Structure 1
Amino acid sequence: MNRPQQPARPPSAYIHGVGSPSVVVPGRVAAWLESHGLNELRIGARGADAEVDNVLVAIRTAAMAWRATATGSKQAPEPEVTRESKWYSTTGAAERLGITDRAVRLAIQEKRLHATNLHGRWRITTEDIEHFKAARAA
């Protein structure tokens, strides 16, 4: 079931400033961008340009905050301490999620669980497993 669409504002409503304009991205739009490949872009562009890195992280933060409030939480969760990303196979992810390996592969195929195919094997980050867990709980 789709939510009723709000009337769209004109593009000029999102642009602020004249000489060096800035664009304001609403949290709902940031969440949509996040679910349509922004995370891959953010990871791929990491380290290329500090300002690009910071803007993409800000958009991701807004997306996560919007998702948390949109799913009924009273406020966005506190950011976790940055940790090294750990990769899991489909079997390892299945163990962490308490589901079967086949269910993990099906979720990847249906694009409900983000994974990277590395030399013919799926690799899933801890972060993606946690997002999948949260989406299943919601």
Structure 2
Amino acid sequence: MDARQILIIKHSWSYILLQSGQMEQMSALFYKTLFLDFPALKTLFHNDLAAQTRKFTDMMTFLVAHLQFPDELEGEMRALAQRHVAYGVHAVDYDLVGSVLLKTLARLLSERWTLELQTAWQTLYQTLSNAMQYNARQIL
């Protein structure tokens, strides 16, 4: 990821954070879309969905906040991969989740969702997904 991509991702995430109720809407829309588009993935979620939505937004906020410090993300990606292996997540699931994340961001950001922003988020997600899958393979 280049500096411009990091900047526009941070800006778009800040916009979501600062809009009243937007963060809760983002999480709810993400999981609603995930389970509608890919109902089989619901079996991976055994915990309270309200708690899961908070974990999701907290993790996304942490990741976006640390984009310019990839060394700081390395340990978190390893731990996140370990948790996802334990939950039963498979490599194919990452692409499904990524498509839903982008769809959710596009809906919430509406006219702010440009091709440049989409490309930046795709690059970010692919980078994180690759790191998690690499770490998952090290565990298995």
Give TM-score, length-normalised by structure 1: 0.31
Between 1 and 2, higher relative CO (CA 8 Å, sep ≥ 6) is seen in: 2
Give TM-score, length-normalised by structure 2: 0.30
* Higher helix fraction (1 or 2): 2
